Each structure stands twice: as structure tokens, then as C-alpha cells.
Structure 1
Amino acid sequence: MVSPDHRKAEPALETTFGERFVLRDTAADTDGELLRIDTYLDPGVRRPLHSHPKQNERFVVHEGTLGVALEDSEVLLEPGDEKSVSAGTPHTFWNAGDDKVHMTTEHRPALRFEEFLQAMVELDREDGLDSDGMPANPLVGAVLLDEFHNEMRPADIPVSIQRILFPALATVGRKVGYGVPNYSKTDERQEQV
């Protein structure tokens, strides 16, 4: 793997609540096999409990302390440590220290996870996320979760309920005009790293 400090400049996706994503190897680059992202988390950032139904995820920490919880265990990862999460396994991660975390995350296969991240960043730009970084409008959230059902699933709602509730709410959301936010790669707010 190429050292994170010696990679070519890539566009960064940033949220207002302290996450930054630099897409290194995309689905287009890897024929859909891998999405590799340099991920940066500010102190205090914690992602909600979730799973990736059809993707394995791997975390490799370069700087800072990353907390990872899956199933009934929690671990703290320091620079050089890594952790893999199998598809369908509920997990969460957070910045467990006082300094910024820099890690590489990998999703195999890539599926449409890049599009999911772009939609969430665009929703953040539109002030459509709450303080936890989740869609503030439940109909928008349902549209996103229905659209990206292979990539992302909340782990705090039973799957049987999700299979009924999210498509129904997404249908209502689409009928009243909500859709997946359209992210523009040429947006001047996007920074180069």
C-alpha cells in the first residue's frame, strides 16, 4: 500500500461536523472491487451503530486513537493497528482521543458507497443533517436508506421493520419531492488535498 503522505492530490468531501473523506481508489478505478478512502475524524466525532449488508469494511489507523465497537466488544486502535468488519455486522467507530484521527477505510466490494457519502455530504451542505450527522428529515433519511440499502443499514431498528418501513416512507418522501441529494464534483466548496 502506498504511504498516505505520497499519494496524488484528490478531491476531499467534508462535513460540518468534523469528517473529511479523500477518495483514493474508487469503484471506477477498481472495477467495483474496492473503495479506499483516507478518512479524518475530529475529536468527538462518533458514527451511529450501523452495518453494511453486502460489504466488508477494514479500518487502518495512521494517526490518533480510533474506537471501534462491534457485536459485544470494543477496541481502541492506535497508529499501525487495523480492524476488519464482516458484511452485515453491526458496528460503530469514533475518535477516542483528543487529536484528529487519520485512517484508511476500505469497502469491499465498492458497490455505491461513494455515492452514499457524496449524498450525505451534499445533504450536510443543504443543512439537512442533525447534530449527529444523520438526516434531520425522516422522509429524506428513508429515501437515502431505500436507495442505498445494499451499502448502509441502521443497526438499532430491526431488519424486518426496515424492510417494510423504509420503502413505505421512501415512497411518501419521493411523492412529496424528496430524492437523493445531487452531489456536484465541480462544486467550488470542494477542496483539493
Structure 2
Amino acid sequence: MTLSVDLFYSYRSPFSYLALPKTLKLVAEYDLAVNLRPVYPLAVRVPGFFKKASPNFIRYVVLDSTRVAQHEGIPFRFPRPDPIVQDKTTFDVAAEQPYIHRLTRLGAMAQLEGRSLAFTDAIARVLWDGSVAGWNEGDHLARAAEKAGFDLAAMDAAISADPDRYEQVIAENEKDHAASGHWGVPTFVFENEPFFGQDRIDLLVWRMQDKGLTKR
């Protein structure tokens, strides 16, 4: 029997990106379906989050994500531009968020098609692996999406025609994410039990093996 796990994912989260290689390995190795469910980052979901957080929070995230990437051998650089439009001094988050709205809605559309993990793996690399100067410029995203079997222009057009449909998907994801008992990403949820962080995947596998997870 194929087991199923939800993965709540943010396109701004370095640890969400760093969880992808292990997640893809899981799907290749085990009889498992991973339902990647995009949510908005804390900067958008929780107004004023970064103003209330310790000054050490961001510094540690940068340090630890870079360290994890080095340890795992994952190409890594923070996205340029930042998917969130935010003042780096005051931490004020702009009202208009064209980048993260587009990315998250695209992920929601791929989720409706049942292919959000493949789509996210394709485009996340463009944001995070440091291979391009500006991920939002030219045809970088379109070419990456095409390799995974997606027509980015058609997706953008469909979302522009009915953005509320995809916002509803995201809102439902955020509701279920909160109901799981955690607020951060990446969070894997298996049978209503949350496993937060890319460093909890081994624990997730242990739990799923107890519930009958088998190798392919």
C-alpha cells in the first residue's frame, strides 16, 4: 500500500529547498507519495514576525542553512532577488508581493495537477542553486519548468484569469499546516503528526516504516 505524506513548503525558505533532495530520494526509494503543499512565508503569513524575532534569528538561519548545504553537497545561494519584498533594515514587508504571490500560486496550480513536487524541484533550483544572476529575469523559470513538463506561460495566464482559485488552495494549505501543530517550514505531516525540518526526515521514515512503509 502506498503511504502518503504532506509537505508544507515555502518558496522563500532555505530549509524547504534543502529538504528537496532527501524528499526526492524518499519517493524514489520507497512506495510513498509526497503531496507538496505550498504556503506563504512567515513574513507574509504573520505580519511583523521579523520585527518580533530575535536579531539572532536571521543570522542563525543564514549560518545554519549555508552549513547544511555544504554538509549535504547541495548547490546553494540565497535568491537574488529575495522572493519577499522587504526592507532589510526595518524588516517592513511591502504590501505588494509580486514574486512570492506568483511562485506560491504556481505551486498551488501544480498541486491541483498532483505534480507540485516535480514542479517545485525544477524551479527551486533556479532560485537557490546560484546558477543564474537573477531568477526572475529572462526565461530561466520557463526553461526549468519546461524540463519538468510544465508550460509556465500557460500557467501564469490561467492564474491571472482566476487568482482566487489558487489563493483558496494556499489558504487551505495554511489552515491544514496550522492544524498539524506546527508553523514552520518545511513540515512533513504523516497521519496528523508533524515533523518539522529537513533534519527530521529520518525520524519521519522511522515512523512510516512502523506503519508499513516499504521499498519500491
Q: Same fold (TM over 0.5)?
A: no
Higher strand share: 1
Higher helix share: 2
Higher relative contact order (CA 8 A, sep 6+): 2
TM-score, length-normalised on structure 2? 0.29
TM-score, length-normalised on structure 1? 0.31
